[in-house]
Amino acid sequence: MKTPSFFIAHGSPLLALEDNEYTRFLERLGEDLPRPRAIVVFSAHWDSPQQQLTADERYEAQHDFYGFPEDMYRLTYPAPGDPELSRRISELFKSHNLPHQPVAGRGLDHGVWVILRKMFPLADVPVIAMSVDSLRSPNEQYEIGRMLSPLREEGVLFIGSGGLVHNLRLLIHSDEPEEWALSFDAWVAETLESRNLQELFQYDKKAPHAREAVPSYGKEHFVPLFYVLGTAAGGTKAQRMFQAYQYGTLSLNCWKFE
């Protein structure tokens, strides 16, 4: 059986400490999933012009944020790596002539460990973190994910970690969503559920309020969607499993692709 692929919003780093409807959903999701052989996460917080991937035996959690409560800087996520899987991914990239670089010693950024700490709190599933390149075209991002799609048959769980509506300059002091954020998320949902990838690849021209939802300085939070869609290439089903908002415009969403 192929493992499903997911796009999961990581929201604010404070998600790691929060107990709310979304964090409880993530906890249940991890409990309900069959235990994967390993987890590969495309993180919005690793934006690189060259494709990179971790190649560690074990990780430390990066505290790549500032101005948060002291408790945040004491959180850890000592997950194991999987050097063998990292080499397997390198082989797949080589077979498609994709320049790439394995990286050791980087640790896991909060786009990776915040959600995994909720889903797999024992930190006992091997993890590989992957960079994204926000300057590539959506089609290129999709094709990089597609290179890795055979690994779904080997028990590898793919996650794209980011946010579909993520514009920190437009946050408000309310959890009631802004209409423009709802409108953009609804358009994304329609294109995903209809598998209209060509329309989705032109979201910046086609989607309502695309400039507000995916600002030019913040595309890295949206593009993990394209990578993880590529890993589910050939799939026919997209299911929105959760949708909520924080600060009016920060969308907390989970999409499952099979």
| Backbone CA torsion sign across 39, 60, 75, 220 | negative
Domains in the chain, CATH or no CATH each: 5-257 (3.40.830.10)
Give me 155's structure tokens.
Answer: 């028990």
End-to-end CA distance of the chain: 11
At residue 123, the pLDDT reads: 98
pLDDT tens sequence across 9-43: 999 999 999 999 999 999 999 999 999 999 999 99
Mean pLDDT of 104-111: 96
Q: Is the pLDDT of residue 157 over 80?
A: yes
How far is C-alpha 196 from the geometric centre of its chain's CA atoms?
Answer: 20
The model scores a pTM over 0.95:
yes
pLDDT tens sequence across 39-98: 999 999 999 999 999 999 999 999 999 999 999 999 999 999 999 999 999 999 999 999
Q: Is the pLDDT of residue 249 over 80?
A: yes
Is residue 127 within 8 Å of 114, Cβ to Cβ? no
CA angle 103, 107, 109 (to 5 degrees): 110
* Helices vs. strands in the chain: H and E counts, helices first: 9, 8
At residue 165, the pLDDT reads: 97
The beta strand positions in 152-234, using DSSP E, are 156-162
At residue 1, the pLDDT reads: 78
User: Could you tell me what percent of the chain has a pLDDT over 70?
Assistant: 100
152-172 residues labelled b (16+ CB within 10 A) or e (exposed): beeebbbbbbbbbbbbeebee
CA distances from 9 to 55, 213, 222 (A): 24, 14, 10
At residue 236, the pLDDT reads: 74
pLDDT tens sequence across 214-246: 999 999 999 999 999 999 986 779 999 999 999
Instruction: Compute the mean pLDDT over every residue in the chain, rounded to the nearest whole number.
Output: 96
How far is C-alpha 204 from the geometric centre of its chain's CA atoms?
Answer: 19
CA gap 221, 244 in Å, rounded: 17
Is residue 175 very low, low, confident or very high in pLDDT (cuts 50, 70, 90)? Answer: confident
Is residue 245 within 8 Å of 181, Cβ to Cβ? yes
CA angle 255, 201, 108 (to 5 degrees): 50
Give me 121's structure tokens.
Answer: 């709190």
Is residue 113 very low, low, confident or very high in pLDDT (cuts 50, 70, 90)? Answer: very high
Q: Is the pLDDT of residue 170 over 80?
A: yes
At residue 96, the pLDDT reads: 98
Mean pLDDT of 108-112: 97
